[in-house]
Amino acid sequence: MALDADFILDRRRLKKSILRWRVLAGVAVVVAIVVGLARTGFFATAVGPYIAEVTVEGVIATDPVFLSALDRLEDDDNAVGVIVHIDSPGGTMVGGEELYESLRRIGQTRPIVAEMGTVAASGGYMTAIAADHILAHRGTITGSIGVIFQSMNVTGALEKIGVEPVTVKSAPLKAAPNPFEPTTDEARDVMKGLISDMFNVFVSMVAERRDMTVEQVRALADGRVYTGQQAVANGLIDAIGGRREALQWLEEEKGISADTPVIPMEIEEPESSVLVDLFKGSIGNVLSSEGLKLDGLLTVWHP
C-alpha cells in the first residue's frame, strides 16, 4: 500500500509540473502574439481613432526607416491628429526637407501640432513649420534660419611638416573647396551661390507656413537663435506650451477629444545581426567619422 501511495503522489507532482509548464508555454505564446501585433500597429487599429506622436530628436539626416514610418502614418486613417515633438539642432538641408515634405503630406488630411523641447533650431525649426500650430517652452532655443557649407584649409599645417599635396583635376572648380589647396575667389562665389539658393528655399518655406512676407522672414533670418518667448513675439511660433496645450489646441480648434489616446508612431527597424551591430557601434566608429554623415549643405545650429 505504501508503494501505491508513493506512486500516486509522484503522479500528482508530475501532473502539476506538466500543468505549470503548459501554463508558462501558453503565456509565452500570448506574449509573442501581443508583441507581434504591436509591431504591426494592430493595437492602433484596434483602439480606433488616435493621435499619433512623432518624435524628432538629435541631428537630422536622411533616414529611410523613419520616412517609411511617416508614409505608413499618412495612409493610416485611424490617426486623426499628429503631435510632433522636436528636440533637434537641425542637420542636413535634404534631411530637413524630407521631414518637412512628409509631414506636409500627412497634414493635408489631418491637423498637426508641433511641440518644441530644449532645442528646435535650423532644420529642427524647418520641421516645426510643417505643423499647423507650433508650441515651445519659454526657454526653448529656436530659429537659426540659415544654411551653411563648411570646409577648412590645412595647407599651412602641411607646409610646416613638409607635406605637399598633389591634386590633378579636370577643371578648377572640381572638388572645390578643397582643404588641401587655398580656396579661390571663383570657388568661394560658387559656394555662396549654392548657399544663397538653399537659403531662399528655406525663407520661402517659412514665409508660406507662417503667413509672412519674404521681407519679414529675411529680417529674422540672419542666423540668430531666439528663445520661445521671443519666437512668439516675432511670429515664428504660435504660443508657449507643451503636451497639455497641444492636446487642448487639437480639441478646441480641430474637435479632437483630449481623451483620444496618444500612440507613438511605430518604426520598424530593419533586422540585423549581432556582429553587424557590433561593427557599427564600435569598430565602424573607428574607421569612419560621424561627421562625414553631415557633408554638404547644412541647416544646423551649434554654439
Q: What is the domain-level CATH number for residue 259?
A: 3.90.226.10
Q: Do residues 194 and 82 share a domain?
A: yes
Q: Tell me the three cell numbers of residue 223.
A: 542666423
Residue 242 is assigned to a structural domain of this protein = yes
Residue 168 is assigned to a structural domain of this protein = no
Interacting residues of 104 by C-beta distance below 8 A, sequence separation 6+: 130
Residue 218 is assigned to a structural domain of this protein = yes
Q: Give 217 or 186, the one with higher predicted confidence.
A: 217
Q: Do residues 27 and 79 share a domain?
A: no
Give me the residue label for grid cell 481613432: 49
> By three-state DSSP, how is residue 97 classified?
helix
**Average pLDDT of the residues of the chain:** 83
Report pLDDT for 23: 59
Q: Do residues 262 and 141 share a domain?
A: yes
pLDDT in tens, 166-199: 878 788 778 777 777 887 888 888 889 989 999 9
Report pLDDT for 222: 95
> By three-state DSSP, how is residue 1 classified?
coil
User: Is the per-residue pLDDT at 163 higher than 50?
Assistant: yes
> By three-state DSSP, how is residue 51 classified?
strand
122 labelled catalytic: yes
The CB density around residue 153, as the number of other CB atoms within 10 Å, is 14
> What is the rounded average pLDDT of the residues 6-33?
60
Q: What is the pTM of this model?
A: 0.77
Q: Do residues 213 and 241 share a domain?
A: yes
Q: Do residues 7 and 113 share a domain?
A: no
Q: Do residues 102 and 247 share a domain?
A: yes
User: Is the per-residue pLDDT at 142 higher than 60?
Assistant: yes
Residue 103 is assigned to a structural domain of this protein = yes
Total domains present in the chain:
2
Q: Tell me the three cell numbers of residue 208.
A: 508660406
Question: Residue 137's closest CA among 237, 206, 210?
Answer: 237
Q: Do residues 201 and 99 share a domain?
A: yes
Residue 287 is assigned to a structural domain of this protein = no
Q: Do residues 213 and 106 share a domain?
A: yes
* Residues 41, 171: Cα–Cα separation, whole Å: 53
160 labelled catalytic: no
Residue 251 is assigned to a structural domain of this protein = yes
Residue 284 is assigned to a structural domain of this protein = no
Q: Do residues 193 and 67 share a domain?
A: yes
User: Is the per-residue pLDDT at 73 higher than 70?
Assistant: yes
Q: How confident is the model at residue 157 (pLDDT cuts 50, 70, 90)?
A: confident
DSSP state of 282: I
Residue 92 is assigned to a structural domain of this protein = yes
Residue-number span of the structural domain to which 17 is assigned: 1-39
Q: Do residues 75 and 136 share a domain?
A: yes
> What is the rounded average pLDDT of the residues 228-256?
97
As to burial, measured by CB atoms within 10 angstroms (0-12 exposed, 13-18 middle, 19+ buried), residue 81 is buried
- Among 169, 174, 192, 280, which one carries the catalytic annotation? 174
Question: Residue 143's closest CA among 234, 74, 240?
Answer: 234
